[in-house]
C-alpha cells in the first residue's frame, strides 16, 4: 500500500487555530514562567512557556529491561526546576489532567488512555512558609506539611474511564539533605504496584534529557565551537511513570501479532481560568494545552506560527495540515546546516523523515527506508484503510532488549533505540541531526557531524528498575558560579506555586492563588498611590531633604 500525504481539504487548520485562540484566552492569564530556554519540549511554544506546570517536556517509551512482557512509559512535565526553587517548589497543577495516549491500530486516535489528576494536602496555613518543619523520613511524616496525591484512571477502546488508584502519594520536591536525609526511601514509597501487574510512580526526578542547547545560536556557533555543555545538567522535572503488560496496549490485546504502538502525551486545562475553585479537573469545558510525541518536533520542525496550534491539535488531523507536512518533507534544519557548514542537504521531498515522524518505518508505505520496524501498518490485524499518517512516538514491543545499547539507536544499528520508541539513554539530538542530514537514507553516519553536540550521556546514572529515572538533584545549578569556579547558570524555572491552604485537604486552586496574587498587587498599588500622595504633600510643604533634581525613592 502506498501512502500519500495529500490533504483532504483545509478543515483541520481552522479547528487548530480556533483551539489555539481558546488557549490564548486562558494562557494570557498565566504570568509565572521559567527563564528563557528550550529543549526537547521545554518551553517550545509561546503559550505553554507561560504555564510550566502543564508543559510536557519529554516522553519515553521502551520495553521494560528487567520485566519481560511489560512496557514502560515515562512522561515529564514542569521544565527547568532549579533545586533551590522554594518555598513552593514544583507541584503538579491541581486543575489540570495529565494524559498518556496509546494508538494500537494506526488511526491516530487513542485506543488506551491513562489519566492522572492531582490534589493538594496543605497543612501550613498561616503558621509557616516552609514545606516541612523537620526532617521528612516518609511520605506520611507529620513534618511534611505540603504534599500531593493523585488519582489514576484508564480508558480502553473508547469506554468510560475507570479508576485504577486513588489518593496515591506523590514523591515531593527534594528540598535538601537536612529536610529529606534519605530521599531514595521517599522514591520507593511513591512507587506502587497495582492489580494487573501495573507499576506507577509520580514525583520529582532528575531531568533525563541531555543535550547542548547552543543549537539555537546558529547551530552551535557556526563552527561547532559551542558544544559539550549539558544545558539541563542539575535541573529536575516532574515525572509520571507507568508500566503495564503488552496486552493492555497492543491491538486486540495480542502483542505477538500486533506489537507496534504509537504514544503521545497531552495536558488539559479548564478553558477559562480566572478566579475561584475550578472543581473536578476531569469535568467541565476543558482545552488541550500541551501535546508531545517525538522529541524536538515542536521545537525544530514546527514553525513558530503553528507551535501553539500544534499543542492544541490531535494526531488524526496532522495529515490535513499542509504547512506541517511540508515542514517534514522540506525540513529547515538541513538547509541551515548546508548554509553554515557546507554539508549538502538531501534532496526533497524527504520521505525518509515522513517514515520517521509520521508513519513509522515500514516497507508497506513504499518509503525509502527498506525495513519493517515500527509502523502500526506492520500489525497483523490492522485495517490499512483506516491508517492515518500522524506525529507520535512509535514502538515495536517485539524487538528484544539490547544487551549493549547504542546511544545512537537505530542509526547506530541498535533497533531497540530511537526512533523505535525512546529509551532514557538514547542521544536523540545526535540521532535526529544524523537523520536530518540523510543518515537514515544511506545507512551511514555523516562524519562531519559525528560528534553532534558532544553531550553523549546524562550527568546522573539511570536506575535498573522501575521507574528508572535518576533521583532529583539537590545541589544548586549555579553552585559552581557561587563558589567562583565559573559563571552562574541561567535563571531557574518557577512554575505555578502550590496553592495556599485554607486548612482544607485540597487547599486553594491555582485560580484562587491568582486571586491572592491579584489582591497583593492591588494592595501594593494602593501603597504606591499613598506614597505618591504623601511625597507630593511633603513637597508642597517644603518638608523634604533631597534636591529638586534628586528622585524620591519609594519602596
Decide: 36 and 499 in contact? Cβ < 8 Å.
no
Kindly indicate the confidence band of residue 525, based on its pLDDT and cuts at 50, 70 and 90.
very low
Q: Would you state the pLDDT for residue 476?
A: 94
Q: Give the single-character DSSP code of 160.
A: P
Residue bearing the bigger pLDDT, 204 or 503:
204
Q: Tell me which residue of 535, 395, 457, 542 sits closest to 60, measured CA to CA.
A: 395
- pLDDT surpassing 60 at residue 541: no
In our burial notation (b when 16+ CB lie closer than 10 A, e otherwise), range 183-201 reads: beebbeebbeeeeeebbbb
pLDDT digits (tens, 9 = 90+) for 358-400: 999 999 988 899 899 999 999 999 999 999 999 999 999 999 9
Q: Tell me which residue of 512, 32, 496 sits closest to 275, measured CA to CA.
A: 512
Q: Identify the three-state secondary structure at position 12.
A: helix
The predicted model gives 488-496 an average pLDDT of: 36
Report d(CA 352, CA 358) in Å as an integer.
10
Which DSSP helix (H) or strand (E) runs through 99? strand 97-103
The predicted model gives 324-353 an average pLDDT of: 92
- pLDDT surpassing 60 at residue 523: no
The predicted model gives 46-56 an average pLDDT of: 83
Q: Would you state the pLDDT for residue 218?
A: 77
Decide: 427 and 452 in contact? Cβ < 8 Å.
yes
The predicted model gives 206-226 an average pLDDT of: 86
φ, ψ for residue 108 (rounded to 5)?
70, 20
Q: How many CA atoms lie within 13 A of 131 on its CB side?
A: 24
Which residue pairs, CB below 8 angstroms and at least 24 apart, start in 428-433?
428/40, 428/209, 428/211, 428/295, 428/296, 429/211, 429/212, 429/215, 429/296, 429/453, 429/455, 430/456, 432/295, 432/296, 432/300, 433/333
pLDDT digits (tens, 9 = 90+) for 103-131: 999 999 999 999 999 999 999 999 999 99
- pLDDT surpassing 50 at residue 71: yes
Burial class (CB within 10 angstroms; exposed 0-12, middle 13-18, buried 19+) of 131:
buried
The predicted model gives 336-345 an average pLDDT of: 91
Kindly indicate the confidence band of residue 279, based on its pLDDT and cuts at 50, 70 and 90.
low
Report d(CA 493, CA 36) in Å as an integer.
9
- pLDDT surpassing 80 at residue 413: yes
Interaxial angle between packed helices 428-436 and 332-341, expressed in degrees from 0 to 180 and rounded to the nearest 10: 80
Q: Identify the three-state secondary structure at position 107.
A: coil
Distances (CA, A) of 261 to 255, 319, 374: 9, 19, 8
Report d(CA 423, CA 72) in Å as an integer.
10
List, in sequence order, every residue forming a beta bridge with 59; answer none if it has no partner.
75
Q: Would you state the pLDDT for residue 41?
A: 60
Q: How many CA atoms lie within 13 A of 126 on its CB side?
A: 1
- pLDDT surpassing 60 at residue 40: no
Decide: 76 and 238 in contact? Cβ < 8 Å.
yes
**Mean pLDDT for the chain?**
81
Q: Identify the three-state secondary structure at position 54.
A: helix
Q: Give the single-character DSSP code of 410.
A: G
- pLDDT surpassing 70 at residue 550: no
The predicted model gives 49-67 an average pLDDT of: 92
Q: Tell me which residue of 269, 392, 423, 390 sits closest to 324, measured CA to CA.
A: 390
φ, ψ for residue 193 (rounded to 5)?
-105, 135
Kindly indicate the confidence band of residue 283, based on its pLDDT and cuts at 50, 70 and 90.
low
Q: Would you state the pLDDT for residue 280?
A: 64
Site of grid cell 502519594: 169
In our burial notation (b when 16+ CB lie closer than 10 A, e otherwise), range 298-320 reads: bbbbbeeebbbbbbbbbbbbbbb
- pLDDT surpassing 90 at residue 282: no
- pLDDT surpassing 50 at residue 26: no
Decide: 156 and 100 in contact? Cβ < 8 Å.
no
Kindly give, in sequence order, each residue whose CB lies less than 8 Å from that of residue 295, ignoring residues fewer than 6 positions away: 40, 41, 58, 59, 209, 418, 422, 428, 432
Kindly give, in sequence order, each residue whose CB lies less than 8 Å from that of residue 117, ignoring residues fewer than 6 positions away: 94, 96, 97, 98, 150, 151, 153, 280, 281, 282
Q: Would you state the pLDDT for residue 365?
A: 84
Residue bearing the bigger pLDDT, 486 or 229:
229
Among 221-235, 269-283, 356-370, 414-428, the range with the most confident prediction by mean pLDDT is 414-428
Q: Which of 178-192, 360-374, 536-550 has the lowest mean pLDDT?
A: 536-550
Q: Would you state the pLDDT for residue 302?
A: 83
- pLDDT surpassing 90 at residue 422: yes
pLDDT digits (tens, 9 = 90+) for 143-182: 999 999 999 999 999 999 999 999 999 999 999 999 999 9
Residue bearing the bigger pLDDT, 498 or 467:
467
Q: Would you state the pLDDT for residue 46?
A: 67
Amino acid at each position: 500500500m502506498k501512502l500519500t500525504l495529500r490533504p483532504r481539504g483545509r478543515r483541520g487548520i481552522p479547528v487548530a487555530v480556533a483551539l489555539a485562540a481558546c488557549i490564548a484566552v486562558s494562557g494570557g492569564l498565566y504570568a509565572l514562567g521559567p527563564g528563557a530556554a528550550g529543549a526537547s519540549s521545554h518551553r517550545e511554544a509561546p503559550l505553554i512557556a507561560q504555564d510550566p506546570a502543564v508543559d510536557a517536556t519529554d516522553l519515553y517509551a521502551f520495553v521494560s529491561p528487567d520485566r519481560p512482557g511489560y512496557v514502560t512509559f515515562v512522561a515529564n512535565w514542569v521544565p527547568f526546576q532549579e533545586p533551590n526553587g522554594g518555598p513552593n517548589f514544583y507541584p503538579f497543577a491541581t486543575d489540570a489532567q495529565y494524559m498518556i495516549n496509546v494508538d494500537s491500530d494506526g488511526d491516530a486516535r487513542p485506543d488506551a488512555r491513562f489519566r492522572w489528576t492531582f490534589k493538594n494536602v496543605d497543612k501550613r496555613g498561616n503558621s509557616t512558609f516552609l514545606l516541612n518543619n523537620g526532617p521528612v523520613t516518609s511520605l506520611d511524616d507529620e513534618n511534611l506539611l505540603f504534599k500531593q496525591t493523585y488519582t489514576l484512571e484508564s480508558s480502553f477502546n473508547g469506554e468510560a474511564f475507570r479508576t485504577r488508584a486513588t489518593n496515591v502519594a506523590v514523591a515531593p520536591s527534594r528540598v535538601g539533605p537536612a529536610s529529606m536525609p534519605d530521599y531514595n526511601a521517599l522514591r520507593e514509597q511513591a512507587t506502587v504496584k497495582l492489580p494487573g501487574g501495573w507499576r506507577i510512580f509520580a514525583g520529582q526526578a532528575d531531568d533525563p534529557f541531555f543535550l547542548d542547547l547552543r543549537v539555537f545560536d546558529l547551530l552551535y556557533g557556526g563552527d561547532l565551537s559551542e558544544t559539550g555543555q549539558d544545558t539541563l545538567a542539575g535541573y529536575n522535572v516532574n515525572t509520571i511513570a507507568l508500566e503495564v503488560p503488552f496486552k493492555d496496549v497492543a491491538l486486540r490485546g495480542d502483542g505477538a501479532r500486533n506489537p507496534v504502538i504509537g504514544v503521545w502525551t497531552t495536558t488539559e486545562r479548564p478553558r477559562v481560568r480566572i478566579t475561584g475553585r475550578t472543581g473536578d479537573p476531569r469535568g467541565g469545558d476543558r482545552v488541550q494545552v500541551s501535546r508531545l510525541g517525538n522529541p524536538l518536533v515542536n521545537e525544530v520542525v514546527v514553525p513558530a506560527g503553528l507551535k501553539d496550534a500544534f499543542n492544541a491539535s490531535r494526531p488524526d488531523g496532522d495529515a490535513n495540515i499542509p504547512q506541517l507536512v511540508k515542514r517534514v518533507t522540506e525540513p529547515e534544519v538541513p538547509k541551515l546546516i548546508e548554509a553554515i557548514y557546507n554539508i549538502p542537504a538531501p534532496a526533497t521531498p524527504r520521505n525518509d523523515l515522513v517514515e520517521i515522524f509520521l508513519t513509522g518505518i515500514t516497507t508497506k508505505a513504499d518509503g525509502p527506508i527498506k525495513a519493517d520496524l515500527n509502523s502500526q501498518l506492520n500489525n497483523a490485524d490492522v485495517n490499512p484503510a483506516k491508517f492515518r499518517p500522524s506525529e507520535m512516538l512509535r514502538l515495536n514491543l517485539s524487538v528484544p532488549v539490547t544487551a549493549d545499547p547504542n546511544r545512537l539507536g537505530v542509526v547506530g544499528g541498535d533497533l531497540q533505540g530511537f526512533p523505535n520508541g525512546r529509551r532514557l539513554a538514547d542521544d536523540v539530538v545526535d540521532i535526529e541531526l544524523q537523520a536530518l542530514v540523510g543518515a537514515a537514507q544511506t545507512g551511514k553516519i555523516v562524519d562531519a557531524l559525528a560528534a553532534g553536540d558532544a553531550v553523549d550521556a546524562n550527568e546522573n546514572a539511570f536506575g535498573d528498575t522501575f521507574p528508572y529515572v535518576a533521583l532529583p538533584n539537590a545541589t544548586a545549578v549555579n553552585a559552581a558560579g557561587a563558589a567562583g569556579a565559573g559563571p552562574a547558570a541561567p535563571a531557574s524555572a518557577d512554575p505555578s506555586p502550590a496553592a495556599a491552604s485554607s486548612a482544607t485537604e485540597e487547599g486553594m486552586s491555582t485560580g484562587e492563588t491568582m486571586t491572592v496574587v491579584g489582591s497583593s498587587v492591588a494592595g501594593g498599588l494602593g501603597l504606591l498611590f499613598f506614597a505618591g500622595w504623601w511625597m507630593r504633600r511633603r513637597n508642597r510643604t517644603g518638608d523634604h531633604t533631597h534636591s529638586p533634581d534628586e528622585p524620591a525613592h519609594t519602596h
